[in-house]
Structure 1
Amino acid sequence: MRGQLAEDRAARFLEARGLLVVDRNVRAGGVELDLVGLIPAGVDDRVDTYVVVEVRSREDDRAGLPEETVDPRKQARLRRGAAAWLVGRDLWETVAVRFDVVSVLIAASDDSSDD
């Protein structure tokens, strides 16, 4: 539940800033990609940029921030998943790719999805 709420909030946050979310919770290369977004060519670059977004959440930051859980092993898995996703859509070597991490703190009592 918290993971889905965090992903919904992350998607809204990114869309409000111009990212077009094109895929959610997709498996590629044996890896689940939380969000895949698109920044069309001409906005920041001359080619389309796909943004692979890892969403991490926790109830609080007492044990560290959520983004601190994206270690080198997780980064390697995300690269593998992103490569498979791009190849599967015939986008390999034709687009730019960026990796982002969105960190969301959600209190245990916070079950609303409207912020």
Structure 2
Amino acid sequence: MSETVSAPSRFGSALRGFITGIAGLAYAYLVWNAVAYLITMAQVGLSGYGWFVLLFAAVFPGLVFAAALLLGRKRTLFPFVLVLVTGVGLSAVFWLDVLSSSLQGGLLA
């Protein structure tokens, strides 16, 4: 009684790659916003804490994307998408928190 493990279909692999690419674009958009905002705020003047927070805001989506890929790599398609979307949501909430802190003046020198 040997079990045969079927290889993933081409369509499933292509769909998984497409979804990963779309999610990657969402994470890249968050990184792009963080870097653009960092450049803008650097011209105004940032404290040391402000530099740390805004640099971390630029790195955080990439870390979350890598973690989401690692957590979802062995899962079926729906849980994989759910993990990626949850990571985008987490990154977006963090970005909104950074913006809120910045608008209250907590990052300026």
Could you say which TM-score interval applies, normalised by the shorter chain?
under 0.3
In the superposition, the TM-score normalised over structure 1's length comes to 0.24
Of Structure 1 and Structure 2, which has the larger fraction of its residues in helix? 2
Larger radius of gyration: 2
Of Structure 1 and Structure 2, which has the larger fraction of its residues in strand? 1
In the superposition, the TM-score normalised over structure 2's length comes to 0.25
